[in-house]
Each structure stands twice: as structure tokens, then as C-alpha cells.
Structure 1
Amino acid sequence: MILTVDVGNTRIKAAVFEESTVVENFVFEKIELEKKIEKILKKFPNCSDLVVASVGSVEKQSFLAFEKQLKVHFFTHEDVFPFHNKYATQKTLGIDRMILAGGATLQFPKQNRLVIDAGTCITYDFIDENDNYLGGAISPGLRLRYESLHNFTARLPLLTLEAPDNYVGNSTPQAIHSGVVNGFVYEIDGFIDEYRKEFSNFIIILTGGDAEFLAKRLKNTIFANSNFLLESLNQTYQYKIDND
């Protein structure tokens, strides 16, 4: 069994895998990390590997405390990945984006793949049918858009995610919801349309915390999987073991 852990900017997600099958998923706050992992390992004592992808601010020592119980591996840029990295600044490419690209490459072979991760930020990562990682885009996620409207204006309220009643917001809260949500959806559909103009044999994978909310609002056909990063973490780790 393998315990995969995704340390994001906001929360931590984890999953226990038996080969390629998810046994159980977990979501918790960073402050709970060591207690939660200890609890997971008590429930699943057959876990042999703890695999971590981190873009958040969690000390490695929190994971290394479990080294006596199982093998701990932190994914880095030095690891073997199943794609050819054509990014101009490879050392600045987020490990989470590399893991997503690895999972897309392994799960959807010989296709053009666009992975859209809708979390604190929204990232777009494109891997062509020849397994070349070409790059993508980064922009603010839904929560950041709500927060920026509040933090950088004098009077706009801080709202939480809510589906707008109409495209025409008839109050300030409804106008904010319309602008944030509809603007976000138009952005994603716009990016997809541009990729479709240039590439055929194409699959779009939507993941991240806001994936389910967004999936039914996009006009384009997508493959939505909120756990795709954890699945990709498991798949890419298996690839690393086989190819080191």
C-alpha cells in the first residue's frame, strides 16, 4: 500500500492506494498533519511508502518523523518523469504541475492532453501526443478573485463562492458572483477553444477543489476528476520505481 500526500496552498489531501485502486481519501488542515498521518498509518499498517508532492509551507521534518515506519519520498525536479520537459524555466515549474502532467501522460497515452487544476490558483498544463510538456498558464482561482475584489477596493464585500442567479447581477453581491464565476468559466472555455484550434486528438482533464462546481458550467466536454493529482502521484511514483 502507498500513502500519497498532496500539500497544497490551502489544505492537505491524501489517499491510500492498493496498486492503482484508491482505498480511502482524506482532506485536512496543515496544522493537523502529523496527527492525521499517524491515524491513517494506524488504520492502514500495511502502507510501505509515503509519497509527497508539496507546493505549500509544510516542513519536511513533519513527514520524516515517520521514516522508521515506512519509506518517505518527496518528489523533486530531479525525479524521473514520463514526459519530455520543454519548459524554458524547468526549476520553477511547480511539482504539482509536473505530477499532473505525469499522470496525464501515463493515463491518456498518445493524445494531446490539457490538464486544468482549479484550486487556489488555476493552472493549465499541456502535454502533446508525443509526450512533450510544453507549458501552459497560471491565473487566480475563484477564492483569490473574491478576495482581491474585497482587499483592493474600499467598499466591496468579501463573499464566498455561490452560483450567480443570472448573468445580469441585480445587486452588488450578485454582480460580484456573476463577474467572478462567469468570468472564470469564460476564461477556461476560452483557453480550451484556443488549444482546440491548434491540436486534434485532444482530451481535457479538469481537477482541483473547484472542479465539480465548474464541470457542469463549461461548454466544452471534459474529463472531471477532483482526485486526479493524488492518482497521478501514485502513478508517477510507480513509473519512477520502474524506471530509476
Structure 2
Amino acid sequence: MLLTVDIGNTKIKAAVFEGTALLEKFVFSSDDALVEVKKIMQKFPATHHSITSVVGKDDHKLLLWLSENTQLTAVNHNLGFPFINKYATPATLGIDRMVLAAGAVLQYPNKHRLVIDAGTCITYDFTDNNNNYLGGAISPGLQLRYNAMHNFTAKLPLLYPQMPQSYVGNTTKESMHSGVVNGLLHEVDGFVRQYEQQYQDVTVILTGGDAEFLAKRLKNTIFANSNFLLESLNLLYLYTNQK
């Protein structure tokens, strides 16, 4: 069994896999990380291997414990990835983006793929059908957009994601919901159209914490999978060990 751990900007997500089967998923705060991981290992004592990707702040105690109690693979830029990295500044490419690109390549072979990760930020990562990683885009996520309007204005309230009743907001709150949610939906649809115009047959994967909120409202055909990063960690582990 394999424990996959994604240390993100706001939460830590983990899952236990047996082969390619996801047995159980867990979400917890960084403050509770070590305690929660120990609980997972008690529940799945046959888990002898682990793989981690870190986007947020390193949890040194957690990583040390995993290295002492499992055979730990800490994903970094030197790990063997199943794509050719053509990013102009490869050392600055986020590990999470590399893991997602790897998962797309391994799960959807011989295709153009666009992975959209709707988390704290929205990241777009594109690999072509020759397994070249070409790059993508980064923009503020849903809650970040609400936070920015509240923090950088004098009177706009702090709101949380909610589907607007109409494109035409008739209150300040409804106007903010329309601007944030509809604006992001137009952004995602627009990016997908641009990639499809240039590359035609593109497989689009939507993941991240806001994937389910956005998926039903997007016009383009996508595969929505909130567990895709954890699944990608598992696939990357299998790939590196098969090599």
C-alpha cells in the first residue's frame, strides 16, 4: 500500500492506494498533520511506502516521521517525470503542476491534455501528444478573488463562493458573486476554447477544491476529478518504480 500526501497552501490532502485503487481519502489542517497521518497508518498498517508533494510550507516533523516509518519518495525537480519539460524556467515550475502534468500524461497517453487545478490559485498546465510540457497560466482562485475585493477596498464585504442568481447583480453582494463566479467561468471556458482552437482534440481535466463547484457550470466538456493530484502522485510513484 502507498500513502500519498499533498501539502498544499491551505490544507493537507492524503490518500491510501493499493495499486491504482484509491482506498480512502483524508483532508486535514497542517496543525494536525502528524497526528492525522499516524491515525491513517494505524488504520492501514500495511502501508510501507509514501510519496509527498509540497506546495505550502514544509512540514519538517511530518516529513521526518514519514522518512523514519515508511520508504518515502519526496517529489522534487530531479525526479524522473514522464514528459519533456520545455518550461523556460524549469526550476521555478511548481511541484504540484509537475505532478498534475505527469498524471495527465500517464492517464491519458497520446493526447493533448490541459489540467486545470481550481485551488487557492487556478493553474493551467498543458502537455501535448508528444509528452512535451509547454506551460500554462496562473490566476487567482475563487476565494482569493473575494478576499482581494474585501482587503483592497474600503466597503466591499468578505464573501464566500455562491452561484449568482443572475449575470446582472442587483445588490452589491450579488454583483460581487456575479463578477467572481461568472468571471472565473468565462476565464476557464475561454482558456479551453483557445487550446482547442490551436490543438483541436484536447483532453481537459478539472481538479482542486473548487472543481465540483465549477464543473456543472462550465460550457466545455471536461473530466472533473477532485482527487486527480493524489491519483497523479500514485501514478508517478508507480512510474518511477517501474523504471
Q: Same fold (TM over 0.5)?
A: yes
Match of 1:204 in 2: 204
Match of 2:82 in 1: 82
The alignment partner of 2:66 has SS state of: coil
Match of 1:19 in 2: 19
| One-letter code aligned to 2:25 | N
Q: Where do 4+ consecutive residues of structure 1 move more than 3 Å?
A: none
The total of aligned residue pairs comes to 243
CA–CA distance in structure 2, aligned partners of residues 222 and 68 of structure 1: 40
Instruction: Give the conservation status (yes or no) of the 8 Å contact 1:114–1:124.
Output: yes
CA–CA distance in structure 2, aligned partners of residues 66 and 226 of structure 1: 25
- How far residue 58 of structure 1 moved from its aligned partner, in angstroms, is 2.8
Quick check: 24-33 or 69-78, which moved more?
69-78
The alignment partner of 1:129 has SS state of: coil
What is the TM-score of this pair, normalised by structure 1? 0.98
Residues 33-182 of structure 1: matches in 2 within 5 Å? 33-182=33-182
Quick check: 22-31 or 50-59, which moved more?
50-59
Instruction: Give the conservation status (yes or no) of the 8 Å contact 2:34–2:61.
Output: no
Residues 188-212 of structure 1, C-alpha deviations (whole Å, 9 max, x = no match): 0000011111002211000000000
CA–CA distance in structure 1, aligned partners of residues 61 and 130 of structure 2: 38
Instruction: Give the conservation status (yes or no) of the 8 Å contact 1:50–1:73.
Output: yes
**What stretches of structure 2 of length at least 5 have no aligned partner?**
none
Instruction: Give the conservation status (yes or no) of the 8 Å contact 1:86–1:134.
Output: yes
**What stretches of structure 1 of length at least 5 have no aligned partner?**
none
- How far residue 68 of structure 1 moved from its aligned partner, in angstroms, is 3.3
Instruction: Give the conservation status (yes or no) of the 8 Å contact 1:9–1:120.
Output: yes
- How far residue 110 of structure 1 moved from its aligned partner, in angstroms, is 0.4
Match of 1:9 in 2: 9
| One-letter code aligned to 1:184 | L
- How far residue 65 of structure 1 moved from its aligned partner, in angstroms, is 1.6
- How far residue 237 of structure 1 moved from its aligned partner, in angstroms, is 1.1
Find out whether 1:221 has 2:221 as its counterpart. Answer: yes
Q: Cα RMSD over matched residues? A: 0.8
Instruction: Give the conservation status (yes or no) of the 8 Å contact 1:87–1:134.
Output: yes
- How far residue 72 of structure 1 moved from its aligned partner, in angstroms, is 1.4
Instruction: Give the conservation status (yes or no) of the 8 Å contact 1:64–1:72.
Output: no
Match of 1:31 in 2: 31
Residues 11-69 of structure 1, C-alpha deviations (whole Å, 9 max, x = no match): 01000000100000000000000000000000000001111001011323322123332
- How far residue 182 of structure 1 moved from its aligned partner, in angstroms, is 0.1
